[in-house]
């Protein structure tokens, strides 16, 4: 099935005898390898394949499977692509050299492969439940897009890295968030997001290599802006979250942060973006039935706005009604939406 930005495979959408071949064909468009599975006759898998300019996002769920890229396959055709994978559930065992050394990956691990190298990758679900599958999200992109010396990168290929802290955690969060928002992406947004995710990969790998200075200024700037966005979202509840605090947390000057954010934020200032995020959160929270008993002042505090009067004034300017009026109207609007959807 074709979406605006890629392909989606759901097990129930394809006859059982065709599922494995279809899934293998989608994988093979950017990850060419010999793919085998003991479950090929009834392959219960799902996949979302999203095109982000020259970058491909893959989100897939599948039973135990083996992927082999042989030296002969590399000689016959090499698209010169990096494959980055974030494992979400299950286990992976990767063999890359003639001596048979194997690297294992567990949920939360990141690793990068090069299509120019042979590999043998075995994927298996976590034990304990028959219905569990391997879950992973990853990206494929041309090697020429990564602004780092290829000879330096070779020491990182095939190694497992935790995606739970530092720059790698930022990358992992971005990949998961990108997959969750895939259905909402417009065609114009896709190439820009592809550029951002490659910048995040470059920033992560440069840090692992202690080679941040090798990154172009634009790539460093875009990665920093994305880091700032993640930091702000995590700390939006804090009324002391100011540009000065954010600049200090990222070891840059306030003036540099303002220039960078405006350049890479479509002209919107950092302070305006934070204000817009806070108002949008208040708008959602006020319409949330689970928070209906929460006073407006408490909703404001959850959004990093210490005074209800400040929220009321800004909310009316942004949405044309007060927070209380929006809260009263929300149930009727939801009921209307439900009726129209039924």
242-275 residue pLDDT tens: 999 999 988 889 998 998 888 887 778 899 999 9
What pLDDT, on the 0 to 100 scale, is given for residue 3? 36
CB 292 within 8 A of CB 327: yes
Give residue for tokens 């075995």: 122
**Structural tokens at position 175:** 């990949």
Report the SS3 class of residue 2.
strand
What pLDDT, on the 0 to 100 scale, is given for residue 2? 34
CA gap 62, 27 in Å, rounded: 12
In this predicted structure, the answer to whether residue 17 has a pLDDT above a threshold of 80 is: yes
With 0-12 CB in 10 A as exposed, 13-18 as middle and 19+ as buried, what is 150? middle
pLDDT band of residue 90 (cuts 50, 70, 90) is: very high
Please report, for residues 30, 67, 110, 169, 196, the alpha-carbon distance to residue 156 in angstroms, rounded to integers and kept in the order given: 21, 20, 11, 17, 21
Fold annotation for 2-234: Jelly Rolls (2.60.120)
Task: Return the bridge partners of 326, or none.
Answer: none
What pLDDT, on the 0 to 100 scale, is given for residue 339? 41
CA gap 82, 145 in Å, rounded: 10
- In sequence order, the 6+-apart residues with CB closer than 8 A to the CB of 10 are 46
CATH 1.10.10.60 domain residues, the chain: 241-342
What pLDDT, on the 0 to 100 scale, is given for residue 250? 86
Of 99, 101, 102, 81, which is closest to residue 33 (Cα–Cα)?
81
| pLDDT tens digits, 141-200 | 999 999 888 888 998 999 999 999 888 988 999 999 888 887 777 777 888 889 989 999
Please report, for residues 59, 86, 138, 186, 280, the alpha-carbon distance to residue 182 in angstroms, rounded to integers and kept in the order given: 10, 17, 13, 9, 20
| pLDDT tens digits, 267-308 | 788 999 999 999 999 999 999 999 988 999 999 999 999 999
In the CATH scheme, what is the code of domain 241-342? 1.10.10.60
In this predicted structure, the answer to whether residue 212 has a pLDDT above a threshold of 80 is: no
| pLDDT tens digits, 112-137 | 999 999 999 999 999 877 678 999 99
Of 179, 94, 91, which is closest to residue 135 (Cα–Cα)?
91
CA gap 167, 223 in Å, rounded: 10
Of 48, 37, 39, which is closest to residue 13 (Cα–Cα)?
48
């Amino acid at each position: 099935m074709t979406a605006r930005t890629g392909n989606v495979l759901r097990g129930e959408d394809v006859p059982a005898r065709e599922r494995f071949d279809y899934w293998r064909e989608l994988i093979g468009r950017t990850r060419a390898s010999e793919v085998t599975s003991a479950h090929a006759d009834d392959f219960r898998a799902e996949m979302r394949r999203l095109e982000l300019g020259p970058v491909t996002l893959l989100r897939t769920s599948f039973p135990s499977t083996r992927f082999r890229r042989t030296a002969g396959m590399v000689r016959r055709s090499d698209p010169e692509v990096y494959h980055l994978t974030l494992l979400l559930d299950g286990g992976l065992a990767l063999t890359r050299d003639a001596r048979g050394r194997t690297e294992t990956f567990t949920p939360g691990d990141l690793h990068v492969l090069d299509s120019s190298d042979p590999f043998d990758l075995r994927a298996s679900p976590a034990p304990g439940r028959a219905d569990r599958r391997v879950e992973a999200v990853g990206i494929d992109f041309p090697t020429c897009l990564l602004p780092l010396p290829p000879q330096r990168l070779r020491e990182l290929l095939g190694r497992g890295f935790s995606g739970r802290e530092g720059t790698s955690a930022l990358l992992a969060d971005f990949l998961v968030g990108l997959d969750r928002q895939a259905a909402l992406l417009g065609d114009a947004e896709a190439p820009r997001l592809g550029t951002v995710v490659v910048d995040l990969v470059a920033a992560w790998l440069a840090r692992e290599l202690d080679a941040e200075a090798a990154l172009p200024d634009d790539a460093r700037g875009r990665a920093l802006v994305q880091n700032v966005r993640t930091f702000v979202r995590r700390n939006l509840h804090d009324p002391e979250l100011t540009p000065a605090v954010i600049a200090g947390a990222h070891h840059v000057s306030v003036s540099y942060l303002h220039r960078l954010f405006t350049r890479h934020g479509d002209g919107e200032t950092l302070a305006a973006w934070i204000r817009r995020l806070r108002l949008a959160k208040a708008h959602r929270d006020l319409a949330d039935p689970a928070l209906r008993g929460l006073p407006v002042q408490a909703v404001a505090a959850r959004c990093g706005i210490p005074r209800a009067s400040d929220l009321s004034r800004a909310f009316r300017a942004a949405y044309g009604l007060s927070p209380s009026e929006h809260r009263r109207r929300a149930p009727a609007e939801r009921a209307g939406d439900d009726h129209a959807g039924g």
